[in-house]
Structures are given as C-alpha cells and as structure tokens.
Structure 1
Amino acid sequence: MKLTRLRLDQLKQFRQPLEIRDLTDGINLFVGPNESGKSTLVRAIRAAFFERYKSSSVDDLQPWGDTSATPEIELEFDWQGEHWTLNKRFLGKKRCDLKVGSQHFSGEEAEEKLAEMLGYQFPGRGASKAEHWGIPGLLWVEQGAVQDIQGPVSHAGEHLQSALGQSLGEVASSGGDELIARVEKERAELLTTTGKETKDYKKVLEDYRHSRERLDALNQSVEQYRQQVDQLGVLIEQKQTIDAARPWEEQRRKADTAKTQLNEVQRWQSEQRQDQQALDNCRQSQAVYRQQLKDFENQQHQLTQRAEDKAKAEAQLQECRDRRPQLEKRRADAEKAYEQARSRREQARHQAERTRLQQQIDELADRQSQQADALKQATELQVALKKLHAQQPDKDIDPAALAQLKRTEQALSELVIRQKALATRLNYELEPEQSITVGDEAVTGEGETLLVEATELHIPGIGRLRIQPGGTDVADLLRQQEALQSEQANLQRRLDIESFEEGEQRAADSQRLAQAIKHEQARLDILAPKGVDALRTTAEQDGARLETLRAQWAQLPEVQADVTSEENAEADLEAARAELKRAEDALNQHQQQQGLAEQASANAHAEWDKLNAELQAPDRKAREEQANKELTELKAREHQLTTAIDARQKQIDAAQPEVLEQDIERFTKSANAMETQARERAQNIRDLQVRLEEQGAQGLEEKRDEEAQINQRLAQRRDELTRRAQALDLLLKLLKDKRQALTRQLQAPLQKHLNHYLKLLFPQAHLSVDENLMPTTLTRPQGTGEEQGDLPSLSYGAREQMGLISRLAYADLLREAGKPTLIILDDALVHSDSQRLDQMKRILFDAARRHQVLLFSCHPENWRDLGATPKDLQALKVGYSAPASGDRGAERGGAASSNC
C-alpha cells in the first residue's frame, strides 16, 4: 500500500486547505517545530480510516473556537494495482466516498470495505478506541507510544494469526492439552505454579522439620547431661587434690617477705634523697662564692671602662650645645615663610570664591530666563489640554459595544442573503393599468417579490390568495432576523447613535482627540515633567537663590590683581607647612638628644664615683679572704657526700626494688586467684549436683527414643511426596517443552523477521515470542555468558527500539501474507542515544525498501543521514493555495496550536 496524496480542510489548526502530494515509496520525512501540525496530520489519517463519518464524537477535529466547521480529509493510495481515493467529511456535512478504479462506494459500505482491507473494526457507538484499530493500530504509532507493544499486538492478534496461515488455537486444541491440564491439576495438589509447596505437602515438611528440631534438642540435652556428669567428677577430684592443701596461704607468706625487704630498700632511698639534696645545696653555695671572687677581680677593669664612658658622654653633650643656635634659626625662618604662604592662600581663596559665586550667578540668570519661557509655554499648553479634555466625554464610545454592533450588522447582512436564497419568489407580469395587492403593498407592471413569511395576495375581481413559504428554515431565519434587529436597536440606543457609520465616526473622532491629548501632554511633560506648579515654584526658588548669591558676592573683600591660583597657593602653603614641621621636628629631636646626653654624662660620673668608693673600702680585703676560705670547706663537704651517695646507690641497686614490687603483686594476685577458684569449684559442684538430679528425673533418653521413631515416619512421608512432586514437575516441563516446540514452528515466520532487524542492533541477540505472538524476552551476549531481560525491565530507550523492531517485523509478516502495510511514526526514538539512533536508522532504511514509512519529527538534525528529503511543514503551510469562493475557511483566519 502506497499513500500518494493527502488533503486536509477545516481540521484542527489547518483552517485552510493543506495538500501534500508526491509521497515516495520509501521514507517520507516530515519535520517542523512543536505545534506545527505533525500530530494533526497523523490524527487526520487515523480519523479517515478509524472514525465513522456519522460519528458525533470527533469534535476534536474542528478548529479551536469554530463549532460550525466541517472537517474534511481526502486520501489517495495505490494497492494491488488499483488507485484508491477516500474522501470523508465529519460533523456539518457528513459523507464518505471511496473510489477504487471505476468502482464507487459510499457511506458505511465504503468504511467496511476499508476496515476489511486494512484489518481493523469500527466501534458500536462513540469514538474509535485502541481495541478497534487492529493492524493499523500496530503499525501507526502515536507520539510517545512506540515502546508500548503489548496492547497493539493483542488488539491485532487475530489478523496476525491469520497472516501466519494457521491459528494458534489449533495447538491449544491438540490432544496434549488434556494431558497437560491433568498433570497440572495433580501437580497443583503438591506445588503452586511458582514451585512452592501446597498446604498438605507443606504441612508434612513442617511437621518433619519440627520433629527434627525436637529430636536435635533432645540429643543435645542427653549429650549435655553426660558432659556435666564427667565435669562433676573432674571438679570433685580437683577439690580433693588442690584445694585441700590451701596453696594460697603459701603465696601470701611469700608476698609478706617481699614487703619486708622492700620497706628496708625504701628507707635507703629516703636517706639517698636527703644526701643528694645536701650535695646540690653545697654545689650551689660554691657557685655563689666563685661569682663573688670573680666580681672582686672585675671591679678594677670596670673602673677604667667607666672613666672612658664619662669622657665620651661629656664630648657628646658639648657637641649638642654647639648645634642648638643653628636649628633655632631654621625654625624661625620656616615660621616666617609659613605665615606669608598662609596669607597668600587666604587671598587666593577669596578670589576663587568670587569667581565661583559669579559663575553661579550667571548660570542662575540664564536658567531663570529659560524657565520663564518654559513656564509661559507650559501655561498655554495646560489651558489647551483642559479644553481638549472637556471635549472628550462627547466623543467617547464603548469599543466593545461598537464591535458587537458591527458583528450584529454583519450577521444581519448574512441573514438577508440566506433569506433571499430560501424565500419564495413571486414573479408577476400584469396588464397595463392592472394591479394586485401583495400583503399591504400594491404592485403594478412586472417584477419580483420575495416572500419570507405568510402573505396574502389580493387580486381585484377574483379574491385573495394566502401564500405560506415552505420549510422551517425560513421561519427560523425570520426569528433570527428579529432577534438580531432587536439587538441592533438596543446597541444603537446604548451607544446613542443612529447608525454604525455614525459610531465609527465617533470612534475615529475619539481616537484623534486622544492622540491630540497624548501629543499635547507629551509636550507639557517635556516642559514641566513635575507639573506647571512645580515649574513655577522652581523658578521662584531660583530667583531667591540668585539674590542671595549676589549679596554674598558683594560682601567678599577686594583682592590684588596678581593673586596666584587657589591650587598654587595651597601647594605653597603645604610646602611651607612641611618645612616648618621638619624644622620643629629637628629642633625637638635635638632637644631630646641634648637631654639624653646630659643624663648620660651625669650617670657616667655617678657610676665612676660609686665604683671608685667601693674599691677604696677598708673591709674589701677581709671579705675576699673569707670567700676563699668558705669555698675550700664546701669542696671538702662535696667530696664526702659524693662518696656516701655512690656507696648507698650500689646497695639499693643490688636489692632490686622494682623486682620486689612485682613479687608482691604477683604473689598477692596468685593467692587471690587460687582462693577464688576454690570457692567457684565448690559452688559449681553444688550446682551440677542439683542440675543432674533434676535431669535424671526427666527421662531424657526415653523421650529421645520416642521422638526418633516419630521423625523416621515423617521422613518416609516427606520423601514419598517429594518424589511425586518432582516427577509431576518434570513431566509437566517435558509436555510444555513439546508444546513450545510446536508453537515455535508456527512462530518461525515472525521470528525470522525479528532476527533480521535485531542483528542490525544487537548482533547475536535473540528476542523470543510467546504463543500469542507477543515479544517477551531479550537475550544478548554479556562477557563470557549472556543476559536475559523482559521487555518491561529494559530502559525506556531500549523499549522504544524493541517496539519499533517488532512493528517492522509484523509489517514484513503482513506483506508476505499479501496484506497492505503503511508505517506511520510520530516522533519515534526520541530517547535513543546517538549510537543506537544510527543503528536504528539502518533498520528503518532497510524496512523502507519494502514498506512506505511516514516519519514525523521535531528534531530534523537527528534524521539528516536517513536518506530521505525532509518536508518542512512550516514551508507547506506558508504555501497554502487560496480558498475557493464560498469556502468556509476563508472566513476563519489564523491557525490554532497543536502538539509536536
């Protein structure tokens, strides 16, 4: 089947006719942005085939806002060597025409012939739905539905099975199904469909498990009882051989001996610390006396150094006194220069202030003159605007009511035309001087009168005739005319006009007046942005400011003509200030230096006098001899203490106090541990004796033997049911495998086409088909093995790709069966990555060698290498042909929006 031509009129956004010709055998690519009409074309093709032409449920085909439109679709296609033409109109002027060569079919006969040819059906009533679409519903994919394959395949199942040449029902009716059902029934008594145990079988398994648990618990209890008897014998033997000798008492005696030895060592350590402290004090005293003797020796050297320091301080003091007059003269000169610069700066400031005030006075005088002119013009414009606003109420008119009046008069004009077409025409040709009366009007001569309501015709000398125009449309038009005339009169009264032309003239006058007001207001806003009063206030404020500035200028003192600029005067003053600051800093620094020199000289004299007095003191010789004597005695004491400390340290090291401390800890912990173990052993013996007496009274071994017999019987029943369940499960699998082999034989044609396309996308992959011809599982290589996944578990993009491949395989199957195929894809594969999309393009190109494909997309850049010339819907819409005379589309301009 090859679609060759498509024409739409008054359908959704295509208010005017759109015709597409020269469709090719292979891929026809339609591109355009969102809402350019691609999905509308798909909807039109579906409506032409699927919707009953008499259906009233297709008002979505009408252009938005136009409930009187008659959507029309015309298709031409070739099939089996004949040219077919289908024309369908909905809603307003319903009809369906189908031409096949020289044959012509119309109405429901044409629709049923198309449904039989393409393999679909019509609904009993209402709009067509997916379950009615059959083969086209599988091959014509709507936007965003390419991944949905289960629904369309189930709806087209009968037609697909017919294309296979035999029905899968033959397999279901084979004798093997009765056996399978019997095996499934017996298996269901033991296992669920998922392989889980049923109620009775599950109870046997649970009873066996519970018995096994009880038997294991009893075995464990018996074994534990025997272990406890053995343990009790060991504990009693240990108590008799170990605890009777009370070994912990010997450990405590060893700990006490170690404590005595450690106390003696600690006394030695205390004496050692006392002697060490005395030795430290002796050495510190020796250091004091050595320093005292060294100080005696250094005092003579210090006296010579201090004499030199005294002479140097006196020389520095004299130098400072000599430099003082020069620095004082520098500061005086700098002060004089600073005062002169400050006086010049004041003169320059006065001159700059006079210049600034004069400039402000000149600027304000010019601005005051401009403001006076602007105030005059603004006042005149304000008066003119008041006059224009006063005229505005007389010219205003409601534009919405005027537009409604225009629509009413246009509707009246159209109604008159329709009345003329439907009215009864009375043609008359009377003899000279003869007349008749038509209604209330007498007519003579010849002419024509239109009768739109019941009218009496009076013929003198003959009588009266009452003419009643036929049809209910005439009366309805007359009622519509009366309603429109009433609405026209009401609108004219509301607008206070005699005619629509008068209203248009008032609207034009109102618009011109508004433009004039807007123009004058704009001029006024330029002259007085804040209003005339604000402009007048600003002018008055500027006048007062001008008088103030003139008074300030008059109060400024006169200055010399050769006064330098304020900037130069300020720079000279800053330089004089800096020089004065440097002179003052130099004098202050010199004063500080002279004070320091005087202080240093006084200190040097005082230190020389003090040290000289100490050297001349009478007891200095006696103190030096006493220091030497004390130092000799301290050295002897140091030797005595060192000898005693070394001897005692050897005695302490030999006693090993750390080892004694460890012995005390070790013997004490050993004694405690032995005594604790003896108590615990005694307690454990008592506990075990009580526990064994209790368990011996319970008869554990007798209970264990009884439970073992019960467990053996349950194990035999469990094994019996398990063998039967496994046997039935295996038998059912073998029967179903045999049936599946027969099913695969019937599925082979479809599987062949699926494999053909699948190898272009996933080499060595396999897409399995169930007995209802539904794709189910994708199997493909993965590493060293393979992976399987149901179609719903794949990613969205992969489901799209599998959905399209399945549809192309169905199309090949139908083509081989001699069925018509046309593939329509609306924005398909939008979720495929670039690599997968390239592979899918190869698949589409391959399929286009056998089928016509209509591909719609809002992403033309994705299909440039598809091997098809794209048709731009925007360009097709721009190239609309002019509508024929009387075409309803000519009265409805514009285009409604649509989906991509």
Structure 2
Amino acid sequence: MKLRRLRVEQFCQFRQPLEIRGLEPGLNLFTGPNESGKTTLVRAIRAAFFERYRSSSVEDLQPWGDSAAAPSIELEFEWQGECWHLAKRFIRQKRCDLRKGDQSFDGEEAEDMLAGLLGYQFAGRGASKAEHWGIPGLLWIEQGTGQDIHTAVTHAGDHLKSALGQTLGEVASSAGDGMTALVQRERAILLTPSGKPTGDYARILQEHGQYRAKLEEIDTRIATYRQQVDRLGELQQLQRDDTARPWEHYRQQVRQTQARLAEVERWVLEQQREQRDLQHCQEMQQWCSDQLRHFARQQQECQQRDMARQQAAAALEEVQARQPQVQTVLCRAQATYQQAREALAQARQQEQHNTLVRELALLREELATTESAWQQAQELQSRLLAQRTQLQALHIDTRQLGQLQKLRQECSDLEIQRKAVATRLQFALEPSQRLQWGDEVLEGQGERLLLEPVSLSIEGMGVLHIQPGGEDVADLARRQQTRQDRFAAMLEKMGVADLAQAQERAQQCRSLQEEIRHNELRLHQCASKGVAELEQELQLQRQRLHLLEQQQTHASPVAIDCIGVAHAEAQSEAAREKLKAAEQAEADFRRDFSLAEQAWRNADAEWQRVERELQSAERQQREQQLHAQRLELQGMESALRASISHRQQEIDAANPELLRQDIERLSRTADGMEKIAQERAQECDRLQTSLEALGAQGLEEQRTSLLLEQQRVERRRDELSRRAAALNALLQLLQAKRQELVQRLQQPLQRHLDRYLQLMFPQASLRVDENLIPEQLVRTSHHREARDSFAMLSFGAREQMGLISRLAYADLLQEANRPTLIILDDALVHSDRQRLEPMKRILFDAARRHQILLFTCHPDKWHDLGVTAREMQSLRAGA
C-alpha cells in the first residue's frame, strides 16, 4: 500500500486546508518543532480509517472552540495497481466516499471495505480505541508507545490470524440494565439519539457558533499576517545558513568515496592476477617434486630388484627338491579311496531296507498326533482372533509409557536441582544503608535467590558482579520447560488425559497380552508353522504313508554281512580326504614350481632394465635441473603469498560494499539539502509579496467587541456542554462491549526478525512466544551467550526491538498479500547515537518493501537518512 496524497481541512489546528502531495513509495521524513502539527497529521490518517463518519464522539477533531467546523480528510493511495480515493467529513454534513478505479462506494459500505482491506474494526459506539485498530494499530506507532509491542500484537491478533490464514475465536459480550435507560432519557433532553444537540443546547450552540465564526474570520486574518511575518524571519535566517552551501560538503565526501572505491576495485584486479600466478607456481612445484620422487624411487627399485632376483633363485631350488615325495603319497591315496567306495555301497543297500521299516511305524504314530493337533489348533485360532481385536482397541505403547514416566520424573528432578544449585544472598543492612540489586533497592534484612547473574551496586564503593555458582540455573529452567512441553505433547499423542489413565490402559493391555501369549503358545505347540501349514502337513503325511506302504510291498531285504553305514562312510570320507590332500599337494607343487621359475625370470629381467636406466648421463643431468628449478619456484611462491595477504587486508579494511552504500546515501542527502534550499528561496519571495498586500485594518477593535458578546454565550454553552458530555460518556461506558481474543499464531516470523536484527547485533536473535510476541533477546559476547527477557531490556532497547518486530510483522503481512503502511511518530527518541546508526540502515532497508512515514522534532538526527525532509512550517505556509 502506497499513500500518494493527504489533505485535511478544519481539522484540529489545521483550520485552513493543508495538502501533501508526491509522497515517496519508500521513506518520507516530516520535521518540525513541537506543536507544529506532526501528530495532528497522524491523527488525521487514523481518523480517516478508524472513526465512523457518522460518529458523534469525534468532537476533538474540530479546531479548538469551533463547534461549527466540519473536519474533513482526503486520502489517495495505491494498492495492487489500483488507485483508491477516500474522502471523509465528520460532525456536519457527514459523508464517506470511496473510489476504487471506476467503482464508487459510500457510507458504511465504504468504511467496512477499508476495515476488511487493512485489518481493523470499528467501535460499536463512540470513538475508536486502541483495541479496535488491529493491524494498523500495530504498524502505526504513536508517540511514546514504540516499546509497548505486547499490547499492539494482542489487539491485532484476530486480524493477523485472518490475514495470515489462522482461525479466529470470538467471545461476545453484552451489557444493559435499567441504569442505561435512565441515562438515555436524561441525555435525550440535550442530545438526539444520533448525538446531535437539541432544544436549548442546540440554540445556544448556534448562537455561539455565529459569534465564533466572526471572531475566527478576524483572528484568521490577524494570525495569517503574524504567521507570515514569523515565517519570513525564519526563512531569512535559514537562507543565511544556505549561503554556506552545506550540501557541497556531502558531494565532496561522495567524490572522495568514489575515488576510494575505484582504488579498491583496482586492488581486487591486481589480487586476482597474483592469485593466478600463485596457482601456476604451485602447479610447477608439484610437477618438479613428482619428478624428483620418481628418480628416488628408481634408485630404491634397483636395490629391491637385485634382492628379489637372488631370493627367486633360492626358492626355485627348494621347490624342485619336493617332487619325489609328492608323487609317492598320491599313488597310495588313490588305491585306498577305491577300496572304501566299494564297502560303502554295500552298507547303504542294507541300511535303506531297515530305514523303510522304521519310517512306516513312526509315520503312523505322527499321523494320529497331527490329526489331534489340527483340531485343537482350529479352536485356538478362533479364540485368538477375538482377543487380538480387543487388544487393538486398548493398545498403548509401553515404550512411550516409559518415556512419559521418565519425563515426569525428570521434571521433578530438574525443579529440585534448580532450587538446590541457586546461590542465596542474605543481607542485614543498617537503617540508613541500602543496596541497589539490579532494578530493586534492598533495605533492612532479607534473602534473595540468585537464579541468574546480577549486579549489586554499593553507594560510594562501586558495583559487585555476582555470578551464581554450580550448574547454569537458566539452563536448568530451559531443560525443565522442554521436558514439560514434551510430557504434554506425548499425553496428546497417546490419547490419554494423564499418566494414571495411561498406566491403567497399559495394565489392561498386559493382562490381555498375557492371555494372548498363553493361547499363542498353545497354538504354537499345536501348529508351530500355522494351522494351514498343519493341515497341509496332515495331507502330506497321509500321502507319504501310502507311498511307503507301496515301497515295502515291492522291496525285499538284502542279506549282506557287512559293516555299518556310518563306519563305511567314515572310512570312505577319510580315504577321500587323504586323496584330496594328496592331489592338492601335487597341484600345489606344480603351481609353486611354475611360479618360482617365472618369478626368477621376471626378477632378473627387471633388475637388468633398472640398472641400465640408472647409469644414464641424461637422467643425472635432469635431476640436478629439477632441484634448482624447485628452489626458485619456492621463493616465488612465498613472495606471491605475502603480496596476496597484504592486498586482502587492504581490501577488507576498505569494505567496498559499504563504500557503495555510503555513495548512495551521501548523494541523496546532498540532493535533498540543495532542493530544500531552493524551495526556501521561492517561499521567501512569495511571503514578501503577500505581506506587502496586507496591512492593519482596525481588526483588533472589532475583535474586542465581538469577544465580549461571545463570552456571555460561551458560559451558558459550557454549562450545557459539560452536562451533555457527562451523560454521553456515562452512556458509552454502560454500553461498551468487552472482547476477548483467544489466539495462537504459528507463522515463520523469526526469519524476518533475524534479517533486521543482524544489522544491529550480529549473531543475535529475538525469540518470540507462541503468540508471535517478542519474548527474549539472545546475544553472544566474549564467546558466551547472554539471554535478556524483553521486559527487562532498557526503555530504548525495547523501543528498538519493538520497531524491528513491527517491520518483521509488515514483511509477514506483505508475503500474505496484505497492504502495509508504517507510520512512526517521534520513534526512537530514546536511542543513543551508536544504536541510531544501525536503526537508520534497518529503516532504509525496510523502505525498499514498505512505505514509511517518519515524523520527528529532531531533524539533525535524521539528515543522513538519504531522503529529503518535509518541514511542517513549509507545508503550512504553502497551504
């Protein structure tokens, strides 16, 4: 949302029309002394949006003492590529007109459309209050409220959730009794139901208004003459200051900074060239080292080859000596193995007949057992199905139950540890003495528990910084809160209300599981592989019995007097192992002989090749050249590294990115100051011409006679006005509605907060609670982490964090495609110079995404913001 134009008339101190055009889409700076109208402009913007045009509770918008005035406000703003025009008039000839492109709206329809667009609501009756202002109340900071972020977020809760996709919760309230009816009757004597004066009150107001209008006409003419004289004096003083052309100082700084930036960019190019030379130098050194290592390896290789040749010859002779013994062992093993095979074949034929007889007997017994088990397994399977269904309904994870019990115990233990490790300070002071304990003054006797570091100020002596001993108490508190959150989350996940209910369900599950395990054990005893498998096994046993009976019918026993199968198999296996060992020994011998012979030939050939290469004259000359070249490259590398390091230090110290930002900021400041000087000169010429046309016309005498008559009427009007105002205020109090907001915002606000916070406190973070309200500032100092609650920060720090939070909310709303406008009325007045500089950068950065209207009575603090300031005196004189 971008505000383009603002016009007010008969509004508070602006009796004459005042119009502001050409508002920038980013930063807009308005300066002027106190009572110059800055806060009045902010009040006009608030009234244009927040106050019902038909409201009778906005008399404070009228110029003081002018009950006949009709305050009017006109706004033009842009949203989503469309131009919106809003015109509102209060108290008299009430109107509200809204144009959006080619569409027109009026009355409450226009007001409700604006409320839905910006995210606020109207008061049921009476003037709008902070609790109705919603999102604009969060983004528009009034004087002295920048630090109160908690209240603003609370009032904007419903609209934030609506804008950002959360659900709303409302609690309606109502009021009304006999007292309300009585007050309404008394009020009707002086005011109509819509709040307009009636009867004697209306008549006296009309008469007073006539006198006041005449007085104001004369006062306006007198005030205009005086204001123009004063303004001309101010402008002439400012013109004398402009003769020094202060903007040239900033332009000189721009030229100096540009020259400095050009020099730094030249350093960067030179550093890149040196880095390429360094890389080439390192590559050449690596190549030389590789060549020298290759030559050294050749010398070692020659010695190794000679030793390997001698060892290979000795190994070959040793292998040849084993040949006769290997052949003898192989022949004996072959004969023994053949005899063992014949004995095993005879034993197996007799064993097969005996086995068939035994299998038939065993199979008939197994068939009877299997049939009984199959019938029992079917019954147990049905019973288990019903029990498992019941267990599924009551199931609770015992591991999770154990974690739940452990978390409860850990929470209790941490609470005990936290209190146990805290340092206790006992004091007994004299009646006239006192100590400063942080923000608290200690007197008399007492005791304090140290849960975090604290400073103890002793008047006339100094400050004691006390660090609690033992474990980190703050860390224990965080650990305790973490476990409590996990305990609640686990209860919700398990679907139980408390630990007792979870234990009861677990006991029921254990009992049922014990019955299931008992039945499963019985089922497993009956059918270890399942009922279906048992039934299939039963069928297979019946088929196997039939087959064995057929084999017994057709087979006849073999009568052979032989050894047992096991003994025959053992003899056969032993013979086979001996034959296998003999064959393996003979194969090993052939392989060892071939390998030894080939190894000797290879070793001899390799030794002769390496020996010839080492004796080469060309190789020795090349080795000397490589040593010399490597020494030269090492010296070159050291020089390049030193030059690159020095150049990098110069570039880092210059900070080219910061130089570019300074050029932009200083250029915009110089242009703005020169433009203001030109506008002052033009305004001075206009005032001189106007004063020549004005002169004294006997206005003071006319004003005195009218004033006496007006004062008589005014006394009667004030009497009736006080009674009407008292009755009206009482009625509004009785009819006020209470609203209660229940909210939980869960959106990624931390990313936007960190973006701004890093510009002020690097490596710091501003933690927010579940309602997106700033809760804790975490900073790192001297490799230690410091945590400060938002409420314990200084007034200036809370004001800075409040502004950063509001800018983050604006970024969040912009991502949700909702309009944003930021108004800062004398914000950051409690910031010191060191903190104000990064806050300017933060505002400059935020202005790239949002329109910001900044009103201040300290223009000297904001002259380098990079924007042209608008002086309130110039705006009023131009009107």
Please give the TM-score of this superposition, normalised by the length of structure 2: 0.36
Bigger radius of gyration among the two: 1
TM-score (norm. length: structure 1): 0.35
